Amino acid sequence: MKRLILILTIVFIGYVSKSFWEEPVQHIIPSFLKDSFRYTVDSINENPDFQSAIDTINQQLHSLFASFNNSLSEPRDTNVETPNLTSPENQIFSIHNIELGDSRADVEQETGKPKRNSKNEYGVNWEAYHENYQNFIMVAYDEENIVRGLYTNQDLIASSTGIELGNARHLVQEQLGTPESTIKKGVINYEISSDGQYDVFHLDNSYTTIFYDKHEDNTVTAIQIIDETLEKNKDALYTNSSHQLKEGFEYQLFDLTNASREKHDLPILAWDDHARETARDHSLDMAENQYFGHTNLQGQSPFDRMKEDNIRFTTAGENLAYGQASSIFAHEGLMNSLGHRENILQENFDYLGVGLAFNNDSQPYFTEIFYR
């Protein structure tokens, strides 16, 4: 009788946890390199050995309840106030009441101290300001601590034209005119092939990129503003690879993911070094062996690689991106691809590891590993 009850219990757990072991695995390639594509991997935790399955379920339930208890100890702060945004004084756009040309002192009077500094593709740092990913912005300074770059994907945009988060793309173009079709890097003019996911405008001696969310009726979802001199100093599409840039892109993609989760009222993911190493290994394998996919040349799935690295999980997902010039463009592209978006906005994930590698042309390969 006890054995029958045990079997029925296992069957019940297997049924109710089906969504945990049938997870989409997604990836994206920018449209200007090749057509984007995706596929799904199912039944990732199937195990033909009955006793091994029992052990696995016990381990996973232990991990699940531990993660649940950890999440209870870090409640979301609902008392953070959205700043009172005012129309910019000297430019078309401001973010969190900050404009290009402001000083670090001006910024930190508005935002407090940065939560993270990380190298970006312009050879300077993105400094991330937020309160547990609420009121999230990234600011780039020059050597004199003057603002030369700004980014946000939250409702912190003010404009003298009235453009704000949630506006339709056609309204943006009515106010700002025809977007740029090319951008010059060194002696090469690169075509801007955004597939309608963003527009680049040359305004106020700066390059302003407006990102759109195709899953929310092509409305404004984020903005990046880069000083013209900083943009022109970047004389190639891809910045020469370095360890500092690799770490910078990894942490930036992690922060961008959490800022998007906060925007959608979802729990914040914890950084996981173990998952980062697994992600880095896969990115490096793709970069060195010139392929792009979730299944490696040895036939291993993401979940095989996680198990091989002793990462225990009840549910997991992997996002891949290749060829984007920065984590910002990678993240915004992933958010516009439904399968990747589902991983980013999956309520049941607890941890995220981001691992990056560059190929010989300094093109970045991004791997995100999400899991509970």
Q: Write down the pLDDT at residue 28.
A: 56
DSSP count for the chain of H helices, then E strands:
11, 16
Tokens 């190929």, residue? 359
Q: Write down the pLDDT at residue 87.
A: 76
**Token pair in block for residue 368:** 């995100």
Name the phi and psi angles at 297, rounded to 5. -70, -15
The residues, ordered by sequence, that sit 6+ positions from 106 with a Cβ below 8 Å of its Cβ are 98, 147
Q: Write down the pLDDT at residue 37.
A: 28
Q: What is the mean pLDDT of residues 293-313?
A: 96
**Token pair in block for residue 214:** 């195709």
**Token pair in block for residue 315:** 């549910």
Mean of all residue pLDDT scores within the chain: 85
Phi-psi region of 168 (alpha: psi -120 to 50; beta: other; left: phi over 0): beta
**H helix runs in 208-313, sequence order:** 228-233, 243-263, 273-289, 302-308
Quick one: which of 177, 192, 360, 327 has its CA closest to 258? Answer: 327
Q: Where residue 81 falls among pLDDT bands split at 50, 70, 90?
A: confident
Q: Where residue 53 falls among pLDDT bands split at 50, 70, 90?
A: very low
Quick one: which of 351, 78, 126 has its CA closest to 245? Answer: 126
In the predicted model, is pLDDT for residue 95 greater than 50? yes
In the predicted model, is pLDDT for residue 218 greater than 80? yes
* Separation between Cα atoms, residue 126 and residue 141, nearest integer Å: 8
Instruction: Return the CATH number of the domain spanning residue range 246-371.
Output: 3.40.33.10
Q: Where residue 350 falls among pLDDT bands split at 50, 70, 90?
A: very high
Query: Tens digits of per-residue pLDDT, 109-159?
Result: 999 999 999 999 999 999 999 999 999 999 999 999 999 999 999 999 999
Query: Tens digits of per-residue pLDDT, 154-185?
Result: 999 999 999 999 999 999 999 999 999 999 98
Three-state secondary structure call for residue 371: strand
**H helix runs in the chain, sequence order:** 2-16, 18-21, 50-72, 104-111, 169-176, 228-233, 243-263, 273-289, 302-308, 327-335, 338-344
Quick one: which of 357, 189, 344 has its CA closest to 289? Answer: 357
| DSSP bridge partners of 289 | none
**Token pair in block for residue 218:** 């092509």
- The pTM score is 0.83
In the predicted model, is pLDDT for residue 34 greater than 70? no
* Domain range 93-237, CATH architecture: 3-Layer(aba) Sandwich (3.40)
Q: What is the mean pLDDT of residues 315-334?
A: 96
CB 352 within 8 A of CB 275: yes
Q: Where in the chain is the domain with CATH 3.40.33.10?
A: 93-237, 246-371
* Separation between Cα atoms, residue 66 and residue 63, nearest integer Å: 5
Q: Write down the pLDDT at residue 270.
A: 98
Q: Write down the pLDDT at residue 74.
A: 47
Q: Where residue 369 falls among pLDDT bands split at 50, 70, 90?
A: very high
The region of weakest confidence among 80-89, 137-146, 156-165, 294-303 is 80-89
